[in-house]
Amino acid sequence: MKRNIFLLLLLIIIGAFLHFYNLNWGAPYYFNPDERNIANAVSQLHFKNQMNPHFFAYGSLPIYAIYFSGVLSNYLMRFVTPASPAAIFTVQFGQAVILSRFFSALFATLLIPILYMLGKKLKNETAGLLAAFLTTASTGFIQFAHFGTFEMWLTFFSILLFSLCLQHLKKPHFVTFVLLGIVFGILVSVKVSSLVLFPIPIILFIGKQFGHHKKGLGTREQGIKKAVIRNLLFVIRSCKDLLLFALIGIIVYLLTNPYAIIDQKDLLSSMNYESSVAIGTEPVFYTQNFANTTPGIYQFLHVYPFLLNPLITLLFILAFFYLLSIMIKYKNKQHLLLVTFYLILIFSQAFLFVKWTRYMMPTLPFIYLVLAIVIARDPASPETKQAQKRLPRTLQSLLTTGTIIICIVFAFSYFKTAFLSLDSRIAAVQFATKIIPSDAKILSEPSDLGALPFQDAFSNFDTFSFYDMDNPDTDATEGLLRQKLINSQYIVILSQRVLQSRIENPKQFPKSNKFYQTLISNHLGFQKIYETPCDIFCKITYLGDPVYWWEQTVSVFDHPTVFIFKKIS
């Protein structure tokens, strides 16, 4: 027991280091556009005069939590540096970014003991430790712990909701019931799409009530009258519980999202836009890489192998179907609840047009629990005895050891690549300033925050919208590009964001495909003089291909590949 507690504490310490180290990465530019939007929403708040975030892509609860944390830190700092009351209630942009990242790192670290307790509850101590280890060594958690976005909020409260549902399934209690309503309200307050989880508590409540109802049915001799009364009481009790649950959730949502009611016009406009982008009816430049991608399969080929690592992705597929078989055979309600949570979370996102990495984040804890349940040995359980006949103990030990080693290698490789090394955009600027005159004419792509350090270093930094090259009105566009190429001495590709989608979709983007193919083959009159180097750790992290294989947001925010081309003719 003491050994297990020691190992858990060690994992928490290691996890905290991996999650909290270098939270100020990318300063002062802060290259993640999502966290910049959140920080802008926070920095415009001022208690009590202006509390409308004017940002409804997410719920307002995290925004207010970040803001009031900033106010508290300003208040405490006034004992060191005197400040006016107005300054105390003003949270600066950079401060908001760091605080939002702090919350992400905190939730990522808290997941370690939570998954330990859940693994222990679902199977045994070994499963708990394995789940805690997988959480600690999760590339996805290390990455999103460093992003000031709300994916770690969603992940943390989704697994907390599962934990409370599990507790209610085992032993219903009024306190657990109230906490379920609060946590569900928080989830919706973070992101409205969390409503997809609403059926689970409903089924849970009705199932428990129906179980009690069946036990109290009595015999036929008691008569129809008593049976009718009991059925009526069952319906009333079920409706009462569901109404109370819904009421608690609604109260939490309204208290933390007051402007969802006050500013309904902006809310509906934002929701319409976000949903249109998600399903692909609103064409925007940052979703063009999802053209011709296959839902479901895409996530298991281009998202999960990064978030989980390739071995864990493969093992999970096998473990999931194995867990399904033993769940059906032994009618395990806890496993059914676990599988249901995972399936709802993945199916609600996997078949959208956009398939961003962040959409898969809330599924990760459930994946680790499935793996821990299947891999961990429990000599007393019938399924373990069955597995021992199929898989010798020595082979199972080798599989477990190999899994641990692979997880450590991939976690460290990503951590070294993204947060122990110099940011790839800053490294590219440092290279450029050594060989390129500060007044040289540089042409680049638009809508990429990697331009910020280049604009600081070079006075003639120009952009061209390569996104528009395949629009119907291309004659003027091609003429403008031709003129810009004549005037430019260098071309800088700030990330693979445009290049990847154009290279991979020649039929959809014929003209821009031809441009990028000609450019990277040095046939455009420009020669490549720099490409972000990819060492052994980078090659492990991105399986040797940081540019073309992965869903773009795997790397474009924290470690994009930068190309620099010099005119030679």
* Element housing 127 (H / E): helix 125-136
pTM (whole model) above 0.85 = yes
Neighbour count for residue 237 (Cβ, 10 Å): 14
How many domains would you assign to the chain? 2
- Please indicate, yes or no, whether residues 401 and 539 belong to a single structural domain of this protein: no
Q: Once rounded to an integer, what is the mean pLDDT over residues 468-490?
A: 82
Q: Is the pLDDT of residue 223 over 80?
A: no
3-state secondary structure of 471: coil
Between 465 and 389, the more confident residue is 465
pLDDT value of residue 93: 95
Closest CA to 498 of 545, 425, 560: 560
End-to-end CA distance of the chain: 72
How many angstroms separate the CA atoms of 109 and 8, rounded? 12
Q: What is the pLDDT of residues 339-367, one digit of tens each?
A: 999 999 999 999 999 999 999 999 999 99
Residue 514 lies in domain: 424-567
How many angstroms separate the CA atoms of 397 and 385, rounded? 15
pLDDT value of residue 341: 95
pLDDT value of residue 420: 95
pLDDT value of residue 252: 95
- Please indicate, yes or no, whether residues 345 and 318 belong to a single structural domain of this protein: yes
pLDDT value of residue 171: 83
- Please indicate, yes or no, whether residues 410 and 439 belong to a single structural domain of this protein: no
Q: What is the pLDDT of residues 277-291, one digit of tens each?
A: 888 888 888 888 888
Q: Judge whether 69 lies within some domain.
A: no
DSSP string for residues in 538-566? HHHHTTT-TTTSS-GGGTTTTS---EEEE
pLDDT value of residue 82: 75
Supply 399's token pair.
């599989």
Q: Is the pLDDT of residue 504 over 80?
A: yes
Residue 407's pLDDT band, with cuts at 50, 70 and 90, is very high
Q: Tell which of 394, 417, 440 closes a domain.
A: 417
Q: Judge whether 75 lies within some domain.
A: no
How many angstroms separate the CA atoms of 482 and 419, rounded? 39
pLDDT value of residue 446: 87
Q: What is the pLDDT of residues 507-561, one digit of tens each?
A: 888 988 999 999 999 888 999 999 999 999 999 999 999 999 999 999 999 999 9
Q: Once rounded to an integer, what is the mean pLDDT over residues 30-59?
A: 93
- Please indicate, yes or no, whether residues 472 and 359 belong to a single structural domain of this protein: no
pLDDT value of residue 172: 79
In Å, how far are 23, 103, 141, 416, 427 from 30, measured between CA atoms? 11, 16, 19, 19, 15
- Please indicate, yes or no, whether residues 291 and 396 belong to a single structural domain of this protein: yes
**Could you tell me where the beta strands, DSSP code E, fall in 459-546?**
460-463, 490-493, 526-531
How many angstroms separate the CA atoms of 167 and 119, rounded? 13
How many angstroms separate the CA atoms of 165 and 337, rounded? 8
Q: What is the 3-state secondary structure (H, E, C) of 247-294?
A: HHHHHHHHHHCCHHHHCHHHHHHHHHHHHHHHHCCCCCHHHHHHCCCC
Q: Which is it for the CA torsion 292, 295, 298, 303, positive or negative?
A: positive
Share of the chain above pLDDT 70, in %: 90
Residue 132's pLDDT band, with cuts at 50, 70 and 90, is very high
- Please indicate, yes or no, whether residues 385 and 511 belong to a single structural domain of this protein: no
- Please indicate, yes or no, whether residues 410 and 470 belong to a single structural domain of this protein: no
In Å, how far are 53, 189, 358 from 34, measured between CA atoms? 14, 18, 11
pLDDT value of residue 463: 92
Q: Which is it for the CA torsion 242, 107, 138, 421, positive or negative?
A: positive
Could you tell me how many helices (H) and strands (E) the chain has, helices first?
26, 5
Share of the chain above pLDDT 90, in %: 64
Residue 217's pLDDT band, with cuts at 50, 70 and 90, is very low
Q: Is the pLDDT of residue 221 over 50?
A: no
Q: Once rounded to an integer, what is the mean pLDDT over residues 59-73?
A: 95
Q: Which is it for the CA torsion 496, 446, 349, 370, positive or negative?
A: positive
- Please indicate, yes or no, whether residues 234 and 161 belong to a single structural domain of this protein: yes
* Element housing 567 (H / E): strand 563-567
Q: Tell which of 417, 439, 467 closes a domain.
A: 417
- Please indicate, yes or no, whether residues 369 and 438 belong to a single structural domain of this protein: no
Residue 228's pLDDT band, with cuts at 50, 70 and 90, is low
How many angstroms separate the CA atoms of 268 and 280, rounded? 18
Between 351 and 225, the more confident residue is 351
Q: What is the pLDDT of residues 241-259, one digit of tens each?
A: 788 888 999 999 999 999 9
Q: What is the pLDDT of residues 419-464, one digit of tens each?
A: 999 999 999 999 999 999 999 999 999 888 999 999 999 999 999 9
* Element housing 443 (H / E): strand 441-444
Between 238 and 11, the more confident residue is 11
How many angstroms separate the CA atoms of 240 and 261, rounded? 26
- Please indicate, yes or no, whether residues 381 and 470 belong to a single structural domain of this protein: no
pLDDT value of residue 208: 62
Q: Tell which of 417, 435, 466 closes a domain.
A: 417
**What is the residue type of 243?**
L
- Please indicate, yes or no, whether residues 413 and 428 belong to a single structural domain of this protein: no
pLDDT value of residue 383: 57
- Please indicate, yes or no, whether residues 411 and 477 belong to a single structural domain of this protein: no
Q: Return left, alpha or beta for 218; rule: phi > 0 is left, psi -120 to 50 is alpha, else beta.
A: left
